[in-house]
Structure 1
Amino acid sequence: MATSHAASAQDSGTPVEELKEQAEAASAATEQLILPIPLSNPTLGTGLAVAIVRIYEPENAGKPWITGAGAMYTSNDDRAIAGFHSMALDQDRFRFSVLGGYASLPLRFYGVGADAGDRGLAINIQQDVLGGRVEGLARVGHNFYAGVRFRVQNVKTRIRTDPDEPSAIDIPPVELRSTIVSAGPSIILDRTDAPFNPRNGLLVEAHWMLGLPFLGSDFGHSAATASANLYRALNDRTGLAGRVSVCAAGREAPYYDLCNYGQSNDLRGYLNGQYRDRASWAAQVELRQHLWRRIGGVAFAGIGGIAPSLGRVGDTTLLPAGGVGLRYQLSKQYGINARVDLAFGKNSHAIYFAVGEAF
């Protein structure tokens, strides 16, 4: 699906008709959504998020801008509020994004490593996170962008498990109340045909963050992520999407900044954080089918694993996943879908409600 742009008004002979056509074109290029989003997944539980999102394309932008805010509450007593903005300038020569928010999350900590995840034993923790991220990119080649990402994150963790209950799972005291300040290079290769729901193209991203103790960070570790998404339309109604991703975290990384299997929907069907270590990888493929009017369906499958380091990824136990889902098109203008997915992982399953594709 091609990216939508505001159309220029044609010369219709009178100023009134020309202004009318310009107004209609501007309206067609703007989408404002107020979205009540049901939530159900193994990390958050069941609840509701409400988001207000405005998608628009100023003159000479070259790519839609997105501004939004949202709040969330779930049956697990998860609470969050956030705001974000992303934009392009000078015919998509420059890209800029900013996001920030606060979340209070009752979670379960299983420990670090594949064996800890397989045991399925955990302690209950309360994690309060306040932070934000800023990223600026410039086009340095054909569809290639490079820039800098900056992140600040303050995390307070309280262990909620009964202190008299014996447990071999522990979190170092220095990680219970800490701050991460990090920055590093970001690169993006964007050869997709649409910003929100591509049918053809390639999207590659890589980010390498370095802790900055001289700016107040409690940790000086590095953290890197990379991913590649490939999209291919088989016909007008059917398409394929594939994704591979990898993560690596330095040895000094706190428990909450390790590679969490299941983060960023890599892969669906796993509790985010049950399997965590200093390295992870995942590969998945999704078949996307238009069914009727605004309704579509998907089937997906994937596999991955975690490891103490990238050099030991080949020795990890494989963690497979798969499932099916339904789609409802919220915006014909930009191809934005609401989705519900039923996913199965290793000894686990989950239902996901969300807006936008998993990748």
Structure 2
Amino acid sequence: MQKILPVIVFLFCSSFVWSQEKPKDTIAPAEKAKRFDLTIMPYLSYNRNLDFMFGAIPMAMYRAKKEDTISPKSLSGLAAIYTTNKSYFISFFNKLYFNEDSWRVQFFALAGNVNSQFYMDDIDAPDFYDYGTKMTRISVGVDRKIIPHFYGGINYAYSHYNTVYEDDVQPQSVSHTNALQYNLLYDTRNAIYYPTHGEKIKLRWINFPEWFGNDLSANKILTEYNKYLPIRNGKDVLAARFAGTFGLGNIAFEQQVHIGGKDIRGYSEGKYRGDGIMALQTEYRYNFNDKMGVVGFAGLATMYGSDTENFNWKAYPGAGVGYRYKAFKSVKFNIGLDAAVGKDDWGVYFRIGEAF
């Protein structure tokens, strides 16, 4: 990996040297007639679970209604990713902002095959065991502004899983879920894609009721609080985040969460898996010119509901650094690469937008 990582970073950086940008999250007068801003990004990453990952992500940023200059620009994209452990993902994502940011609509669809691993210690040979999950996920949601900065909304999500475990350590499972998600959002950020000041507070209740076609009833409560502070006369940003996922009821294996991802980078093995996670994180975003920047971050997480009792309510630190590059000409929207270390683990992450 020490030989591969510099090559990844070089390819990542060199693939964007042709891009141009404007210094602020606005459109220059000469570009106002241009409704669509298109970009195609290569995807290069690595972690200890999925191994080397590569693919392509074409994206378009545009105004849903040309004369609506108050709403943030909408974003649509397609991602096709393949990994050297023979996993693959194809997804489509869409975020629409319209009617002077009174309505926010999201759509997401994913199909793929994930070859991953999990840790078991309640058997004769405690160790990591592989599993493969063929999955399909579709979600659609809408949020409506109730009063300035405050939104409420609802989402529907369908998921189908077919999971096979190595050495039959668990029986094969085929399941599907239908989820209703109720959202409350307080948002004072000055920009959606790269805020330099303001707050984002979000509360989500995800319900899996039996009457809606689920085998067992379950609930998840997701909370997040993001704070953004301008530093160095607004050139840089200090960002802080608390995130909590709380599983209640009969949480299926595929519905569990694991320490890792954007909330506590540095964990990629999938070892620490359970019903709920809480994480604190801070990040400094240093912009050394209008096109590029670097970040440094550190955080601490804990968890509960793990099948391995010794994992519950322990402290899991993570820290690392990253590189950022502006993907679109007219809007501050970064892509990047992060490297982080955690407790007996590490990870490399390709970033579409900021971590939070």
When the two structures are superposed, what TM-score results if normalisation uses the length of structure 2?
0.85
For the Cα contact (< 8 Å) 1:282–1:302, is it kept in 2?
yes
**Residue in 1 aligned with 2:184?**
187
**Preserved contact between residue 27 and residue 330 of structure 2 (Cα < 8 Å):** no
Partner in structure 2 of residue 33 of structure 1? 39
For 2:61, the equivalent position in structure 1 comes to 55
Query: What one-letter code is carried by the residue in structure 2 that aligns with 1:147?
Result: G
2:241 match: 243
Asked if the contact 1:339/1:355 (under 8 Å) is kept, the reply is yes
Q: Report SS of the residue matched to 2:211.
A: helix
How far apart are the structure 2 equivalents of 1:129 and 1:355? 22
What percent identity do the matched residue pairs reach?
24
Is 1:262 the equivalent of 2:260?
A: yes
Equivalent runs, 1:248-327 vs 2, <5 Å: 248-263=246-261, 265-271=262-268, 273-308=270-305, 316-327=313-324
Residue 26 of structure 2 aligns with an amino acid whose one-letter code is S
CA apart distance, 1:251: 3.0
Aligned residue number for residue 97 of structure 1: 106
Distance 1:293 1:100 in 2: 33
More displaced 10-residue stretch of structure 1: 199-208 or 267-276: 267-276
Q: How does 1:157-236 map to 2 (within 5 A)?
A: 157-159=163-165, 161-163=166-168, 170-171=169-170, 176-235=173-232, 236=234
Q: Is 2:193–2:333's contact at 8 Å kept on the other side of the alignment?
A: yes
Greater alpha carbon shift after TM alignment, 36-45 vs 142-151: 36-45
Q: Which has the larger radius of gyration?
A: 1
Aligned-partner Cα distance in 2 for 1:41–1:33: 25
Deviations 1:72-112 (A, max 9, x none): 1011111011112111221111111111110101000214x
RMSD: 2.3
Indicate how the Cα distance of structure 1 residues 347 and 297 shifts in structure 2: closer, same or farther if over 3 A, else same.
same
Contact 1:38 1:354 in 2 (8 A): no
Other-structure match for 2:82: 73
Q: Which moved more, 1:149-158 or 1:55-64?
A: 55-64
Q: What residue number does 1:353 align with?
A: 350
Letter in 2 for 1:87: L
1:321/1:123 Cα in 2 relative to 1: closer, same or farther (>3 Å)? same
Alpha-carbon distance, 1:26 to partner: 2.4
| Corresponding residue of 1:46 | 52
CA contact (8 A) 2:135 2:161 kept: yes
CA contact (8 A) 1:85 1:99 kept: yes
TM-score, structure 1 normalization: 0.84
**2 CA distance for matches of 1:120 and 1:102?**
31
Equivalent pairs counted in the alignment come to 324
Shift in Å at residue 324 of structure 1? 1.1
In 2 relative to 1, CA 211–217 (structure 1 residues): closer, same or farther, beyond 3 Å? same
Aligned to 2:13: none
Cα-to-partner distance string for 1:281-328 (whole Å, 9 max, x where unaligned): 00010111112452211111000110139xx9xx71100000111112
> Which amino acid in structure 2 is aligned with residue 220 of structure 1?
S
Deviations 1:168-214 (A, max 9, x none): xx4465xx110010103111111111111111111111211111323
Distance of 2:47 and 2:333 partners within structure 1: 21
Q: Relative to 1, partners in 2 of residues 1:120 and 1:300: Cα closer, same or farther, differing over 3 Å?
A: farther
Structure 2 residues not aligned, in runs of 5+: 1-22
Structure 1 residues 233 and 153: CA distance shift in structure 2, 3 A: same
Cα shift readout 1:142-173 (whole Å, capped 9, x = no counterpart): 211001111100011011x235xxxxxx4465
SS of structure 1 residue aligned to 2:85: coil
- Distance 1:340-1:198 versus aligned 2 partners, 3 A rule: same
Q: Equivalents in 2 of 1:199, 1:293: separation in Å?
A: 14
Separation in 2 of the partners of 1:256 and 1:242? 29
Inter-CA distance 219–273: structure 2 relative to 1 (3 Å threshold) = farther
Q: Secondary structure at the match of 1:256?
A: helix
- Whether 1:148 aligns to 2:148 is no
Q: What are the ranges of 5 or more consecutive residues in structure 1 without an aligned counterpart?
A: 8-20, 164-169
